[in-house]
Copies of this chain bind each other. A is one copy, B any other.
Amino acid sequence: MNSPAMTGEERMLAACRHAPVDVTPVWFMRQAGRCLAEYRELRQRYDILTLAKTPELCAQVTEMPINAFGVDAAVMFADIMLPMEAMGVDFMIEPEVGPIIHNPVRSAADVTRLRVVDAEEATPYVFEAIRLTKQRLGGRAALVGFSGAPFTLACYLVEGRPSRDYARAKALMFSEPAVWHQLMGTLTEVIIRYLRGQVAAGAQVLQLFDSWIGALAPNHYEEYVLPHSKRIFDELRPLGIPTLHFGTGIGGMLEQIAAAGSDMVSVDWRVPLDVAWERIGTEKGIQGNLDPTMLLAPFEIVADGAADVLRRAAGRPGHVFNLGHGVMPETPPDSLARLVDFVHSQPIGARP
């Protein structure tokens, strides 16, 4: 790209505020991870939680994709379970599986035992890592902080491990709504403190990951989840930091997700971006939505897919290019770098 008019940080923050951009900003969920050889090398010496809890290492990993791919945003390297530790949740991260919780939450008594502490006491290392990363970035990319959303975290806590259908969590939700809402309320409080702490440390954009929300019917989302997610965005709004709300499989509930009140909605590839934008209204920003499995194909295919996403965004402000879900570990890093160049090479005004 020849002499860009904006830095990555400026570009990302402008798009998040619906302001004009030189080209579309781009970053990838899970960009700091197994697709990078440099990361895999570090992982031979440290386990995931050690990386996440050691601010210097965490900042180093968070910065890697800025250097490797030239993305416009750095997303904090962290596990969504981190803020659960100080709540009294005893977990480990099993490689190739995900979080395993030794004391799952399945009763009113289990919920009552969950502790809510100050964020600085719970995850000081996350905030220190944000400060260090901010220095390393030096304005080259915007710093995205994040948290799991109450539903997705509740699924992990109730199931005790990743699940295909979240049957146990949903059975608790349907059968004992009072216990469910207490659990969701507790998680919501912890999430708000955690995200406020990230902003205080320097995060410039916040993303709420509701990865498993697509397991719900829209009316059940409204009844059991929306009030909690909405509270998060309501309480964050005064901070003036752009918010992103991510979910997968939300084609049936885009309107409800939008109603939770984030500035932007992050959609997966299952809904065409133009259709999604029409449904949530163009006053809201949108992030997405290339199918991450396309990156396992030759780059011409990737470029075709990216061009289609950009065409559907129709040059509107408020579009952040991303994948519809995280980068797959087997993705060729070179394709990610070329994809960033491709998105940056497409003039905003000249789209078909």
* A308 contacts B by Cβ under 8 Å: yes
The dominant DSSP class at the A interface is: loop
User: At the interface with chain B, which of A9-17, A30-38, A265-273?
Assistant: A265-273
A272 touches B170 (CB 8 A): no
A328 touches B272 (CB 8 A): no
A218 touches B272 (CB 8 A): yes
* A42 contacts B by Cβ under 8 Å: no
**Cα(A330)–Cα(B271), bound, Å:** 33
Q: A251 is contacted by which of B171, B175, B252, B328 (Cβ under 8 Å)?
A: B252
Closest B residue, CB atoms, query A296: B171
What string of 1s and 0s marks CB contacts (under 8 Å) between A284-325 and chain B? 000000010110111001000000100000000000000001
Least Cβ–Cβ distance between A301 and chain B, in angstroms = 5
* A57 contacts B by Cβ under 8 Å: no
- A294: chain B residues at CB < 8 Å are 170, 174
* A214 contacts B by Cβ under 8 Å: yes
Closest B residue, CB atoms, query A171: B296
Q: A167 is contacted by which of B174, B253, B296 (Cβ under 8 Å)?
A: B296
Closest B residue, CB atoms, query A325: B165
Q: Give 11 new A-B contacts, CB below 8 A, not counting A164-B164, A165-B325, A251-B253.
A: A170-B294, A171-B293, A171-B297, A175-B296, A214-B249, A217-B272, A218-B271, A249-B251, A251-B270, A252-B270, A252-B275
